Amino acid sequence: MNSGKPTPRRSCPKADTQPQSVSANHRSPSKKGVPSKAWTGRLTEPTHELVERFTSSLPFDRQLFEYDILGSLAHCQALEKAKILTRAERRALVRGLERVRDELRENRFPFADSDEDIHMAVERRLTELVGPVGGKLHTGRSRNDQVTLDLRLYLRDHLQTLESRIQDLQRAFLGQAREHLNVIIPGYTHLQRAQPVSLAHHFLAYVEMLERDNARVRDTLKRVNVMPLGSGALAGNNYPIDRAFIAKLLEFPALTRNSLDGVSDRDYVAETLGVLAIIMMHLSRLSEELVLWASSEFSFVDLPDGFCTGSSMLPQKKNPDVPELVRGKTGRVYGHLLSIMTTLKGLPLSYNRDLQEDKEPLFDAMGTVLESLVVYAELIRRLRIRRDVLSAAAGSGVLLATELADYLVNKGVPFREAHGIVGQLVRYCIERRMEWHNLSLADLRAASPRFSKDALRFLTIEGAVDRKAQTGGTSRKQVTRQMNAWEARLAKKLKT
C-alpha cells in the first residue's frame, strides 16, 4: 500500500501545453440566474450563479491539479505527524486523493456546478469518495497558502523544463556554427554593412544570449523554490504542523518566514514573467533577422518549407510565418508582464482576490515561450545557408575599411587621422563605383604615403576575420575554441 508520501514530479506532464478548458466536463446550471445551493455559514444568501461563473478560476487553474494533490499528500503526512489525523484517516485520504488524481489524469473527473476552483473541486470529490474524513484535509491550511504552494510547484517544474528547452536551442545553434565555421558574412551596425564576421560567430551570439536567459531562469528558481504552506489565511495556524517536514517531503530547500508575505507574495510570478519576456525579446530579434535574411533582398538563408506558408492569392510567395508569429507573440508575453505588475501594484497585505489574475497570464506566457523554443530549435537545425550569396555579400563593398585604418595606426598614424584618410578612399571607391578589393597600391599611396605593399594583405576578408583573435573576437581559431567550450558545457548539462 502506498504510504502517502508525495513524490515530487521532475517535469510537468503538460509542460508545453496551454491551459485547457473544462467545458466538456464542467456541468453548467440548467437555469440562468438561479442562485447556487452552496454557501458558507456567514453569508445570508447563496452565491448567485452569475457570480459563481464570474469568479470561477476552474477553466484555467485545473492544470494545477497534479500539484494540488501533491501538496495535499504532504499535508496529510504532516497532519498525521501532528496527531490531527489517525493513521487510518491518513490512509483513507491518501487513497481518495490518488483516485481523484487518476480521474483527473484520465479526463473522467465529475466536475460539479459548485466547483469554484481546482482546490474546491478536489476536496469536494475527495469527500464524496471517502466520506466526512475528507473534511479534515483542510485543517491548518487555507486556500491562500494552498494556491501559492501549487503555483510554486508548477513553476519549479516548468522552469526546469524551460532551462532544458533553452539548452536544446543552444545545441541547434552550435550545430549550425560547427557546420559553417568558414562561412564569412557581413556584420551589421544600424543595419548597414560594417565588418566581416564568421557566420559561426554570429550564431554563437545567440548561444550567449540564451545562456544569460538560462542564468535568469536558474536564479528565479531559487526564489520560487520556497515552501509557503503553513501560512494559513494570513497569520499562520493554530496546529503543531511541522512546516519543515512538509518542505522536506516536497523537496523545498527553504520556508517562507512571514505568513502575511507567504500568502500574498507574487514577486516570483512577476519575476518569471520578466524572464519569459526577455527570452521572447531574444527570440524576436532572431525572428527579425530571419525575416530579413530570408527575403529576396537578402537571400542569405532559405527557411525550411515546412515552417513557411504560401499565399492564398500570390502563387510565388513563401512566407516566414514562424518567425513572424514568434515576433508577434513577443508582444503578448510583454503584455502579460505588464498585467501582473499592474495587478500587484495596488494590493494591500495580505491576500486579495485580485491575485486570482496571476495564473492566466503566467500559464499563457509559459506555454508560449516553451512552444516558441521548441519550434525554433527544429527550424534552426533545418535552416539552409546560402553560402554563395553570403560570400558575394561579404566580398563586396567597403567592409575592409577599418582594416586599412588599423594598418595606418600600426604605421604610427593617429587613429583619427587614419580614419579620415580611409574615409577619403571610401568616397573615392563610391564615386567610381569601384570595389574596395580592386584598389591598387598606387590608389592607396595617393591617399597616404604611409601605405606600403604589405597593405594589400589587409584587403582580404579572411585576414580581416582571423586578425580578431582576442577572446570574444570573430577569428576562426577563437570561434573554434568557443564552440568546443560550449559543446562540452552543454553535453555536461545533458548528462545531469
The DSSP symbol for 442 reads H
Mean pLDDT of 422-447: 89
What pLDDT sits at residue 188? 95
- Which is the catalytic residue, given 21, 295, 311, 396? 311
449 vs 249, 353, 404, 432, 442, CA distance in Å?
79, 78, 13, 22, 10
Domain 145-239+250-392 - what CATH class?
A: mainly alpha
Q: pLDDT per residue over 193-208, tens digit each?
A: 999 999 999 999 999 9
10 Å CB burial of residue 406 (0-12, 13-18, 19+) is: middle
Residue scoring higher pLDDT (54 or 13) = 54
Which residues make up the CATH 1.10.40.30 domain(s) of the chain? Answer: 401-459
Q: pLDDT per residue over 214-243, tens digit each?
A: 999 999 999 999 999 999 999 999 999 999
What pLDDT sits at residue 209? 98
| Topology adopted by domain 49-139 | Fumarase C; Chain B, domain 1 (1.10.275)
- The C-alpha atoms of residue 279 and residue 284 are separated, in whole angstroms, by 9
> For residue 193, which phi and psi values (nearest 5 degrees)?
-60, 135
In this predicted structure, the answer to whether residue 391 has a pLDDT above a threshold of 80 is: yes
Active site annotation includes 190: yes
In this predicted structure, the answer to whether residue 88 has a pLDDT above a threshold of 90 is: yes
- The C-alpha atoms of residue 284 and residue 324 are separated, in whole angstroms, by 8
What pLDDT sits at residue 30? 36
10 Å CB burial of residue 260 (0-12, 13-18, 19+) is: middle
| Single-letter residue type at 50 | L
Strands 184-189 and 192-198: antiparallel
What pLDDT sits at residue 36? 45
What pLDDT sits at residue 434? 86
* Cα dihedral 449→455→456→458 (10° resolution): -140
Mean pLDDT over each residue of the chain, to the nearest integer: 90
Q: pLDDT per residue over 314-341, tens digit each?
A: 777 789 999 999 999 999 999 999 999 9
Mean pLDDT of 134-138: 96
- CA neighbor of 73 nearest in space, from 7, 148, 156, 152: 7
In this predicted structure, the answer to whether residue 113 has a pLDDT above a threshold of 90 is: no
Q: What is the pTM of this model?
A: 0.89
Give 155's Cβ-side CA count (13 Å radius).
32
Which residues make up the CATH 1.20.200.10 domain(s) of the chain? Answer: 145-239+250-392
Taking the domain 401-459, which CATH number applies?
Answer: 1.10.40.30
Q: pLDDT per residue over 274-290, tens digit each?
A: 999 999 999 999 999 99
Number of CB atoms found within 10 A of residue 228's CB: 24
- Exposure b/e, 289-320, CB count within 10 A at least 16 = b: bbbbbbeeebebbbbeeebbeeeeeeeeeeeb
- Which is the catalytic residue, given 28, 30, 190, 440? 190
In this predicted structure, the answer to whether residue 158 has a pLDDT above a threshold of 60 is: yes
Active site annotation includes 142: no
What pLDDT sits at residue 212? 98
- Cell numbers for 66, please give them: 497534479
Which residues make up the CATH 1.10.275.10 domain(s) of the chain? Answer: 49-139
Residue scoring higher pLDDT (29 or 213) = 213
In this predicted structure, the answer to whether residue 6 has a pLDDT above a threshold of 60 is: no
Of 31-35, 148-152, 182-186, where does mean pLDDT reach its minimum?
31-35
> What percent of the chain is predicted at pLDDT more than 90?
78
Residue scoring higher pLDDT (223 or 58) = 223
What pLDDT sits at residue 463? 92
Question: How many whole angstroms from its chain centre is CA 98?
Answer: 32
What pLDDT sits at residue 40? 58
